Amino acid sequence: MKRKQIILSLLTLFAINMYSQERIGTENCFGERVIQDYLSCFGDWPEMHRDSHLMFADSDTRQMAASFLNTYADSTTTDTIFFILVRNLWFTRSNMINIIPGDTLFHAELKGRGTFEAFRTPFLNMYGKTYWEDLCTWDKAHISEPSKDIILDGCYYYITRLIYHKGQLQSADFCGNGNKLEYEPEWFAPDKLDTLPYPKDKQWPNLL
């Protein structure tokens, strides 16, 4: 009997240890930490904080974004990651977010009554070469600083640049721009979209 209790105790300790390691692994996940860092960037912009949280309120969308970022994590070099939040100002609600850690971006778009569409695609399939150059040089003079003035129509692009070194956040910058024709892609190719499917019979949260 005593031997069975010892074995049971050992199995219990093993299970607790495995759960703890899994939890720590999830909490230390590079992609999840990047999302948390991004969501913490809007101290003076409460409306942006709300909209950004909305984009990651769906757990499956958030997991897709974190997994995408994990594939770009590099422990030996400096990683620069851009988040571009696109607000459709007709409805004063965010409707798209693009995450760019390299030449490929993750795109999540709020559709209909709280559902998302997500895909990966080359940066130049969504935006133009001029935008790529301005982002790479972080040329705020061309991108333009964001404005708190009310804009009555069109979309506005809020860009957050996060720089990591050895997996740790080094700096965070913020700027934005309105619609610019030179930032549009030369040609959009639907066949270059790598659609990320959601689970069947998914129960969507009420985001709207």
pLDDT tens digits for range 110-136: 887 778 999 999 999 999 999 999 999
Contact 111, 117 (CB under 8 A): yes
Collapsed DSSP state (helix, strand, coil) of residue 165: strand
Token pair of 124 as six digits: 């130049």
Strand-pairing partners, residue 174, are 160
The rounded distance, in Å, linking the Cα atoms of 185 and 4 is 67
* Helix 30-39 / helix 46-55 crossing angle, nearest 10 deg: 150
Q: What local confidence, expressed as pLDDT, does residue 25 receive?
A: 44
The rounded distance, in Å, linking the Cα atoms of 185 and 127 is 4
The structure's pTM equals 0.81
Percent of all residues in the chain with a pLDDT value above 90, rounded to a whole number: 44
For 169-203, write each residue's pLDDT tens digit: 999 998 888 888 889 998 999 999 999 999 998 98
* Long-range Cβ contacts of 48-54 (<8 Å, 24+ apart): 48/85, 48/158, 51/85, 51/87, 51/93, 51/94, 52/83, 52/85, 52/94, 52/97, 54/93, 54/94, 54/110, 54/207
